Structure 1
């Protein structure tokens, strides 16, 4: 892919400034200079950990603990993905209707926390159809948050920094992609239960709520001096 990109490199580099200084931390400087973006990145870390925990272990949970056939479990996960894609569109429409992304993100984080908590505590006891409905709801929320999240990043960052801000928060987000499934595996190894493992995305959903609240507070604090001026 890198070699193919060289074909168009000269065209894309026409407007570059060879004398522009390089920054050692690159896009991550946005996180250092803008405290609200740090909290928004932390929320992305938590939400992505919940998302990958669901997608990585939903089939194993249904097959090994709910005793569903492998094909049936695969169909359920397909529906979970469809719910996630639909959610990304639907939550974006809702955010546009409200004119704000943050309330939607907070609602999604709250729902993620509640759904995974129910799955963790009652997932082995509830009827199969109820578990399937909960997994689909988990897909609509924990897989469908990304679009609204990136819209909030673009809204919050400084003019001309959309690319850098997006890159910076996605560094933290993809750390959650790596850490979430690893910690879930550890919980399953210690407890022997995939249902108990869902306590992890429940916890990260709760931490996402706290991060978004701190993000809102940091944003209001940053806007206050500008308002006074």
Structure 2
């Protein structure tokens, strides 16, 4: 378990700069593409593999929670277009669905099953905000892939103090993802999408005293699920 988890996480730093880039990207350049990818619109074959991989990972993350979530308060950290929030609410959870991008929340609200609406609260903001309170469980699919190990582990360890269970997915350090990471740095900063940061997942899991679940590989989608318990 990280020993510096209780340091001041509110100070501006690399995390805040990255979060701002993520917000700008998903609110502007990526908004339409992400809406299509996470919906039922026709997409390219490459994006079909990404869609399939994301669906597989979403199902894996959700499978780590009980089938009946009645009475449980669950945080969907970086909820995107809301598929997990909807599924959790339909299983009985009271869901706080947070995302940094207003465009993603608009899509999520528009798509939400009416049966789930009474149990989902959408919020724009920081998924690690302490003011969100305590949760029985936290799920986070690919929303933490942009952050470096030092910032990520400090925030995850602090969040674990407010949650019984955390299930997240991160980018593993594979040759393909490493190549994509370094290739992205060749573009001018203004033209870059936020770069995912590949991690040595065994080292990260050990540092956080977590459990690696499984890796999902589907075309250009490669992600590893990590589980943390209080």
TM range (shorter): under 0.3
Q: TM-score, normalised by structure 2?
A: 0.26
Structure with greater Cα Rg: 1
Structure showing the higher strand proportion among its residues: 2
TM-score (norm 1): 0.26
Which structure dedicates a bigger proportion of its chain to helix?
1
Q: Which has the higher contact order (CA 8 A, sep 6+)?
A: 1
